[in-house]
């Protein structure tokens, strides 16, 4: 039996009997089970007698011609026999999106919405940092006149701020962009889906062009890097302004004068704890006075440790080419050495105490591990 057509399985005899009884005024009788079975057997016999002899040899391969239901929102542009409606190409599916085949491309509206959401999250971290920098006042902390840890000379920083931003900002961005670009090219040329060009697409389109997948990955990795960096710096700034620890070069830079006009060179003030004082240095200004009380924790140490450890973990997870394994380890070594050297110079330049550097490095390492654990 090759096919079972619903129209061929019907009992015409009970219907004719029902019409004759209705015309004669008799009470119509319900068809019995025996009459229904007999009608079905007769219909099956008539179908078998009219079928093709070639189909009689394939009784085990019964094919049911089923019509697929129309999907909600489909436009009925399916092609080919048995094609499901609504699976055509180039279908509009609401504002800001395009359906290409079975993949939905997100348009400029989706891109703008995602960027605005990320900017709102970053502003929640950046605005408090800006507030600390513009209007924040560190806690005023006293000192002992015989405290030798505050009498170190003033030196300029070995690792300047622009060097720190270059190594911990521009370098990570460049490495992430290069690695993601070459990963995408490698998958496109040698991956299991190298014949499918849509595998390299991101699902987002701009100006009728689909953005490459590696660009989306760069946006994700760099965005998370910046967010973690902001959280790490905000944590360090909260500690700086809440504790207000004096830097090792405090005496040299401030030359404190006590409320009674004396200074720390007087023998009577040797063991005194001084809280009320003013800076007698001629070149003292409000910015330097504020910076003197921001020793704990080290911002340079936390910044460098976070950025370098983030990139080290990123290279370990994403740079999988066997021929470049030694290059990966060499880059990781250089990055860690930069963070280590930065921490050491903050002590040798008398910008921070040892405990300040240890606390800053701990903050940076903690956030680097936590943030990278959410990437994979």
Lowest mean pLDDT among 17-21, 81-85, 316-320: 81-85
Average pLDDT estimate for 36-48? 58
Q: What is the 3-state secondary structure (H, E, C) of 80-123?
A: CCCCCCCCCCCEECCCCEEEECCEEEECHHHHHHHHHHHHHHHH
Q: Is residue 144 part of a domain?
A: no
Give the C-alpha separation, 373 to 176, whole Å: 17
Would you place residue 200 in the very low, low, confident or very high pLDDT band (cuts 50, 70, 90)? low
Burial (CB count within 10 angstroms: exposed 0-12, middle 13-18, buried 19+), residue 100? middle
Q: How confident is residue 208, by pLDDT bands cut at 50, 70 and 90?
A: low
Catalytic residue selected from 208, 320, 329, 352 = 352
- Whether 343 shows a pLDDT value over 90: the answer reads yes
Asked if residue 221 belongs to a domain, the reply is yes
CA distance 74 to 93: 10
Q: Does the residue 271 lie in any domain?
A: no
Query: Residue 263's closest CA among 246, 249, 277?
Result: 277
Mean pLDDT for all residues in the chain:
77
| Local confidence band at 189 (pLDDT 50, 70, 90 cut-offs) | low
Say how far apart CA 163 and CA 154 lie, in whole Å.
20
Residue 112: pLDDT band (50, 70, 90) is: confident
The pLDDT value given to residue 171: 94
Q: Any catalytic annotation for residue 352?
A: yes
Strands 97-100, 91-92: pairing kind: antiparallel
Q: Is 300 marked active-site? A: yes
Active-site choice (205, 249, 300, 353): 300
Helices and strands in the chain: count of H runs, count of E runs: 12, 9
Establish if 323 belongs to a structural domain: yes
The pLDDT tens digits for 52-79 are 444 444 444 434 343 444 433 333 444 4
Instruction: Please give the average per-residue pLDDT across 36-43, as a whole number.
Output: 61
Q: How far apart (Å, rounded) are the C-alpha atoms in residues 326 and 304?
A: 23
Domain count within the chain: 1
- Token pair in block for residue 375: 């990437």
* Residue 25 within any structural domain of the chain: no
| Domain coverage including residue 313 | 108-136+149-255+284-372
Whole-prediction pTM value?
0.69
Helix axes 213-243, 171-190, angle to 10 degrees: 150
The answer to whether 63 touches 2, Cβ cutoff 8 Å, is yes
Instruction: Judge whether 70 lies within some domain.
Output: no
Tell me if 231 is assigned to some domain: yes
Q: What is residue 98's predicted lDDT score, i.e. its pLDDT?
A: 45
User: In percent, how much of the chain has pLDDT > 70?
Assistant: 65
Q: Return the higher-pLDDT residue of 126 and 86.
A: 126
Residue 7 is assigned to a structural domain of this protein: no
């Amino acid at each position: 039996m090759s096919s079972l057509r619903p129209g061929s399985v019907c009992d015409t005899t009970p219907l004719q009997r029902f019409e004759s009884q209705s015309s004669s005024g008799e009470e119509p009788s319900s068809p019995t089970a025996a009459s229904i079975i007999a009608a079905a057997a007769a219909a099956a016999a008539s179908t078998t007698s009219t079928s093709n002899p070639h189909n009689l040899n394939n009784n085990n391969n019964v094919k049911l011609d089923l019509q697929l239901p129309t999907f909600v929102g489909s436009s009925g542009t399916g092609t080919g026999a048995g094609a499901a409606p609504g699976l055509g190409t180039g279908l509009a599916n609401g504002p800001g999106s395009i359906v290409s085949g079975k993949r939905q491309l997100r348009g400029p509206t989706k891109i703008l919405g995602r960027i605005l959401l990320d900017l709102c999250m970053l502003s929640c971290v950046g605005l408090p940092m800006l507030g600390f920098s513009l209007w924040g006042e560190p806690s005023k902390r006293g000192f002992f006149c015989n405290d030798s840890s505050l009498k170190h000379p003033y030196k300029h920083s070995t690792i300047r701020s622009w060097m720190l931003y270059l190594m911990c900002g521009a370098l990570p961005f460049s490495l992430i962009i290069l690695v993601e670009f070459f990963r995408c090219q490698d998958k496109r040329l040698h991956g299991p889906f190298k014949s499918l060009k849509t595998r390299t697409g991101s699902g987002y389109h701009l100006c009728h062009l689909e953005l490459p997948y590696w660009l989306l990955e760069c946006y994700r990795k760099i965005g998370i890097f910046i967010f973690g960096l902001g959280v790490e710096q905000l944590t360090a700034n909260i500690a700086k302004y809440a504790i207000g620890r004096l830097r090792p070069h405090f005496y040299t830079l401030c030359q404190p004068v006590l409320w009674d006009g004396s200074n720390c060179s007087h023998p009577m003030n040797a063991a005194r704890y001084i809280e009320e004082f003013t800076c007698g240095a001629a070149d003292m200004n409000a910015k330097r006075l504020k910076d003197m009380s921001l020793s704990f924790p080290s911002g340079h140490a936390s910044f460098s440790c976070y950025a370098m450890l983030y990139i080290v973990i990123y290279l370990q997870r994403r740079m999988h080419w066997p021929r470049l394994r030694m290059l990966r380890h060499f880059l990781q070594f250089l990055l860690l050495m930069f963070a280590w050297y930065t921490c050491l110079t903050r002590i040798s330049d008398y910008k921070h105490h040892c405990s300040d550097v240890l606390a800053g490095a701990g903050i940076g390492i903690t956030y680097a591990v936590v943030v990278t654990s959410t990437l994979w």
